[in-house]
Amino acid sequence: MRKFFQDIKADLKFKTAGPGQKLSEPSRVPREKPRAEAALKPRQGPTDEAQMAAAAAMARMELKPKAKAPSSQDAIKNQVRKELMAEAAASEKRLSPEEKGLVSPGKEGGAAAPSVSGVYFICPLTGEVVRKEKKEKHLREAIQSYFSVDPVAASIMEIHTFNKDRERVRVGVETMAKYLDNIYLHPEEEKYRKIKLQNKVFQERISCLEGIHRFFQAVGFETKTLPVPGQETTEDYYVLKEEMLTKLEDLKGYKEQLVSSEPLRAQLDRQLCVFKPSPEAARFELPNDFYNLTAEEIKREQQLRTEAVEKASMLRTRAMREKEEQREMRKYSYTLVRVRFPDGYILQGTFYAREPVSVLYSFVREALREDWLPFELLGPGGLKLTDENLAFNECGLVPSALLTLVWDAAVMADIQASGEEQPASPLKPELLSRVQTLS
């Protein structure tokens, strides 16, 4: 190989002599040795040391990053890195969560306005919008207030919402349903109208559930202390009130409501915003709410990023890289997505990191004047988001992303050919009336 490059160099030197210079004589650099000489001195193979040196050189060449123009995805990764550094610095200084969310990476003592103030939820009972950390408390207060409206429904909400072990809830609800079915099917049997509170099944499956005792009270049971037959002791029971025997259909309805109910969930507020065209569209300043990390994990993340520099010098398989990328994506619970329209206007919304991309298409379509217009969304690098069933984190669109909307060319050509006057923007007028400037 070395001899080949020497020959090329000699040829170039011979052919490119400048004015007034004598051309080098080709004969001074023989291109190949006589066959006899070559036969007398056979070429030796490279030594083990030379082979190891060559392999190391090739590895360094493969690892050397190629120069390329920074993409929006690169900018997002850099921003995430800066945010994590800011978080670590804030936790060291023991700042409050609000203060930590306003630390500006790269500016000493400065504050950068976040792209969104936090993650918010809409309470299904009150319709109020509350911040993430206040969601559970607000739900409890809302359900508590609902007892004055419908105590049965409120107690069922408690059972399904605040007991996190879904399997335990299922077993408890099925056992309670059996109790109520026995009463409905055998109202004449007094034994079915009494439930011993110290019963092992009741204790293990039902009594441990939050909200269960309020449910029994709401559907017509009362607590009574009754003597144990044949003994001088007493035990506590839930006993169905006599008047409920005339309301057995109501009791059946309560049972069906208990079995069919689902946990009460606050809805993620998309925080829809529309921005004027801006060169700052790819710049994101995210608050702490978007990161699924505790203060300790943030410090650990900083350490891992330092170690990543050393890791980069090692050859890794594709499977190893994909596994690390998947672990990286699981760190985020939410993502902030911006969609830039052909006219430059920007639509912004908040999504769960594990929601399918199909919800983003619906989100964009609901913002259009003409929701039938076909369009596609292009991710970083111009890649089409064709599989709408994939989640945001599976597409690499977390914790933030800037996408581009493109119209169907054939449909737009037909619209232009029709000669009808088109609105200045495809977005709904009510959205354009509150357009903001992206800073």
Domain boundary pick from 245, 267, 289? 267
Examine the domain organization and report whether 133 and 253 are in the same domain: yes
pLDDT in tens, 160-211: 999 999 999 999 999 999 999 999 999 999 999 999 999 999 999 999 999 9
Examine the domain organization and report whether 233 and 334 are in the same domain: no
Answer whether residue 256 is part of any domain. yes
What would the mean pLDDT of 365-375 be, rounded to a whole number?
95
Examine the domain organization and report whether 242 and 350 are in the same domain: no
pLDDT above 80: residue 417: yes
Domain boundary pick from 221, 243, 267? 267
The Cα 206–Cα 174 span in angstroms is 10
pLDDT above 70: residue 372: yes
Query: What CATH number should be reported for the domain holding residue 225?
Result: 1.20.58.2190
The Cα 408–Cα 84 span in angstroms is 39
Q: Which of 357, 338, 341 is nearest to 427 (CA)?
A: 341
pLDDT in tens, 59-116: 444 444 444 444 544 554 444 445 444 544 544 443 343 333 333 333 344 445 778 9
Q: Full-prediction pTM beyond 0.85? A: no
Residues in the chain: 439
Query: What CATH number should be reported for the domain holding residue 353?
Result: 3.10.20.90
Examine the domain organization and report whether 253 and 157 are in the same domain: yes
Share of the chain above pLDDT 70, in %: 66
pLDDT in tens, 379-402: 988 889 989 999 999 998 999 999
The Cα 312–Cα 308 span in angstroms is 6
Answer whether residue 278 is part of any domain. no
Specify the pLDDT at position 422.
Answer: 80
Specify the pLDDT at position 228.
Answer: 83
The lowest-confidence range among 13-22, 306-315, 322-331 is 13-22
Examine the domain organization and report whether 233 and 143 are in the same domain: yes
More confident position, 433 or 63: 433
Examine the domain organization and report whether 433 and 340 are in the same domain: yes
Specify the pLDDT at position 323.
Answer: 54
Specify the pLDDT at position 420.
Answer: 79
Helices (H), 107-150: 135-146
pLDDT above 90: residue 342: yes
Answer whether residue 346 is part of any domain. yes
The Cα 211–Cα 173 span in angstroms is 12
Examine the domain organization and report whether 245 and 132 are in the same domain: yes
Examine the domain organization and report whether 262 and 334 are in the same domain: no
Cβ neighbours, 10 Å, residue 284: 21
Answer whether residue 70 is part of any domain. no
Q: Give the total number of structural domains in the chain.
A: 2
Examine the domain organization and report whether 254 and 344 are in the same domain: no
Q: What does pLDDT average to over the chain?
A: 78
Answer whether residue 339 is part of any domain. yes
What would the mean pLDDT of 129-143 be, rounded to a whole number?
94
Indicate the Cα dihedral angle 255, 261, 264, 270, nearest 10°.
-160
Answer whether residue 215 is part of any domain. yes
pLDDT above 50: residue 321: yes
> What CA–CA distances, in Å, run from 348 to 102, 114, 219, 332, 344?
20, 13, 46, 18, 13
Specify the pLDDT at position 21.
Answer: 46
Domain boundary pick from 252, 267, 282? 267
Examine the domain organization and report whether 256 and 390 are in the same domain: no
pLDDT above 60: residue 280: yes
pLDDT in tens, 37-57: 444 444 455 555 555 555 445
Examine the domain organization and report whether 248 and 162 are in the same domain: yes
Examine the domain organization and report whether 260 and 126 are in the same domain: yes
Angle subtended at Cα 334 by Cα 330 and Cα 335, rounded to the nearest 5 degrees? 105
Specify the pLDDT at position 124.
Answer: 94
Q: Residue 290 — pLDDT band, cuts 50, 70, 90?
A: confident
Specify the pLDDT at position 88.
Answer: 45
Specify the pLDDT at position 288.
Answer: 83
> Which residues span the domain enclosing 186?
120-267
Q: Helix or strand or coil: residue 71? A: coil
Answer whether residue 274 is part of any domain. no
Answer whether residue 379 is part of any domain. yes
